[in-house]
Amino acid sequence: MKIALDIDGPVAQFDKAFCEYYNMRWNLNDDYTKYDKWYIPSASQSKVTEEQSEQAFKEFTDIRMFAAIEATKDVKNALCTLQNIGCEIIYITARPKSAYRTTAKWLVKQGLPIDGILFANENKGTVAKALNCDLAIDDKPSNCHQFIRNGINTIFWGTKYNIDYQNKLTKEALKDGIKINKDIFIKRIEGWRKTIQFIRKLQCQKLNKK
Ligand SMILES: [Mg+2]
């Protein structure tokens, strides 16, 4: 099974590192665990302005802060388990291309299995389809839409900030006029333990079909 895996969220705790950075930079005290959006939290959740956030993100990239991000809980064990049961792990990230070296070095340093690293900030769905991925894991609703649009089964990586999207995803996709193939699923799962259980089940079903 070939898996298209998002980095920020399922693999790296970007929100935490970025929030710490802009808090320091702009002397704020935002709490990333209360975000209701990814990347730039809404005004009700944060004191950072859009301009400050954009400036902080540029600096964050320029001074290679991606190297200092903490890994997501349990990710190393999880990805090694997936590799052991025959999965290929292709990272598809929307990070700026200038962060390629820092990102690749970080993945190696964490001891994570790597079968490919791609930078795609426009349409992750078409990239994953071109690579014949069987499954995608991502925390951003619009990316998940792109995956299901391209006929790729999707695990919607559950975090606090996307909890409301649990049921909206397929409804929104239908509203967009996307015909969802009945064989394609999208499932919101929180944490690697449950994700691994789910993927193991998928693997068994696949083997039983053969
Ligand atoms: Mg993400």
Identify whether the C-beta of residue 82 lies closer than 8 Å to the C-beta of residue 63.
no
**Mean of pLDDT over the chain:** 89
Higher-confidence position of 42 and 159 = 159
| 35 Cα: distance to centroid of ligand 1 (angstroms) | 14
Residue 47: the pLDDT is 82
Q: Give yes or no for residue 13 having a pLDDT over 90.
A: yes
Residue 49: the pLDDT is 87
| 73 Cα: distance to centroid of ligand 1 (angstroms) | 15
Residues 113-138 have a mean pLDDT of 96
| 182 Cα: distance to centroid of ligand 1 (angstroms) | 26
| 91 Cα: distance to centroid of ligand 1 (angstroms) | 11
Assign 133 a pLDDT band (cuts: 50, 70, 90): very high
Q: Give yes or no for residue 39 having a pLDDT over 60.
A: no
pLDDT tens across 43-94, in order? 666 788 888 988 999 999 999 999 999 999 999 999 999 999 999 999 999 9
**Across 13-27, 66-80, 158-172, least confident range:** 158-172
pLDDT tens across 167-191, in order? 666 666 666 655 666 678 888 899 9
Assign 121 a pLDDT band (cuts: 50, 70, 90): confident
Q: Which residues make up the environment of ion ligand 1, defined by Cβ < 5 Å?
A: 6, 8-9, 139
| 141 Cα: distance to centroid of ligand 1 (angstroms) | 9
| 42 Cα: distance to centroid of ligand 1 (angstroms) | 17
| 138 Cα: distance to centroid of ligand 1 (angstroms) | 6
| 210 Cα: distance to centroid of ligand 1 (angstroms) | 33
Q: Give yes or no for residue 142 having a pLDDT over 60.
A: yes
| 139 Cα: distance to centroid of ligand 1 (angstroms) | 5
